[in-house]
Structure 1
Amino acid sequence: MAIAKQYLKTKPICKVTFTVPASEAKKVEVVGDFNNWKPKGAALKKLKNGTFKGALNLPKESTFEFKYLIDGAYVNEIEADRYQWNEYAGSENAVLEL
């Protein structure tokens, strides 16, 4: 798994690209604070090599908790900026700091 951040010079946003190697998966979505944890419209595209990839434009100087939803199972990003305990979920969420 990987996250790439590209800060735009002309706008106060960061293009965040999520890459998830999950060749056996049928569906991978990224959910978090930025989309109210709703998987609708959050699907990553499956590439021919079995990797799922997608990008979001998020506001700079923000922090977001998120997870991947791989075939219905929540999975943390191993390269997250840090992790935050979430009492509601009873587990840690990956944190993206922009």
Structure 2
Amino acid sequence: MLERKPRKGRTEITFVLPADTPPGAVSVVGDFNDWQPGTHTLAPRGDGTRAVTIALPGKSTHSFRYLAAGDYWFDDDSADGHDGANSRLHT
């Protein structure tokens, strides 16, 4: 799930997943972090989910995917669209 907070000239995107699905560490990787795993790792929240927030430029489009333990790549069903194997989001 994606949560969005518009800010002046940028949008804060919070990437949210259930606490244990998939199990193990999960990071969001995309063109905004040069597809580097571990740069934006989701952390537990008090509501039983895990999340990470990234500030992205306003009025831009980005490709991303999630990477879980065991080299398990997956997409976000709540993304704005898909471009091949990647999820897409618009700020």
| Bigger radius of gyration | 1
Shift of 1:42: 1.2
CA contact (8 A) 1:31 1:39 kept: yes
Aligned match for 2:61, one of 63, 69, 72: 63
The match for 2:11 among 9, 14, 18 is 14
Q: What's 2:36 paired with?
A: 38
Task: Say if 2:90 is the partner of 1:97.
Answer: yes
Structure 2 regions of 5+ residues with no counterpart? none
- Which runs of 5 or more residues in structure 1 are unaligned? 86-91
User: 1:14 offset after TM fit, Å?
Assistant: 0.2
Q: Separation in 2 of the partners of 1:39 and 1:5? A: 22
Does structure 1 conserve the Cα–Cα contact (< 8 Å) formed by 2:29 and 2:39? no
Give the counterpart letter for 2:36 in structure 1.
K
- Within 2, Cα distance between the matches of 1:44 and 1:4? 14
Q: Give the aligned CA root-mean-square deviation in angstroms.
A: 1.5
Deviation of 1:40 (Å): 3.1
Alpha-carbon distance, 1:47 to partner? 3.4
- Cα displacement (A) at 1:39: 1.3
Seen in structure 2, the aligned counterparts of structure 1 residues 46 and 17 have a Cα distance that, compared at 3 Å, is same
3-state SS, counterpart of residue 2 of structure 2:
strand
Partner of 1:52: 50
Count how many residue pairs are aligned between Structure 1 and Structure 2: 89
